[in-house]
Amino acid sequence: MLELVAAEVLVNTNAVASMIRQGGAHKLASAIQAGSRAGMQSLDAVLLELVRRGVITGDEAHEHAVDRAAFEAYAANDTAA
């Protein structure tokens, strides 16, 4: 059985630190999406890439996704993109 880690990455940039200090933690998902140049990645983006590469199934991605609705098409068909 292969075990795999799919992780969300949040980098402590000035913008992220400011958001946290100001109580804007609810905005961090947007910061992660916008922060790919700084090495940030969302869990859902990682899961989608793993589905596309055929490493995991659509059902597995759907089970662990933050935004499960985004993975319903993959789970229903259980095919890679």
- Give the lowest-confidence range in 17-21, 25-29, 76-80: 76-80
Q: Is the pTM of this model over 0.85?
A: no
> Does residue 62 sit within a domain?
yes
pLDDT for residue 2 is more than 60: yes
User: Could you report the per-residue pLDDT of 28-61, keeping only the tens digit for each?
Assistant: 999 999 999 999 999 999 999 999 999 999 999 9
Q: Which residue's structure tokens are 């905005």?
A: 27
- Segments forming the whole domain that contains residue 70: 14-77
Number of domains in the chain: 1
> Does residue 4 sit within a domain?
no
Angle at 26 between CA 20 and CA 16, to 5 degrees: 35
Residue 17's pLDDT is 96
Residue 34's pLDDT is 93
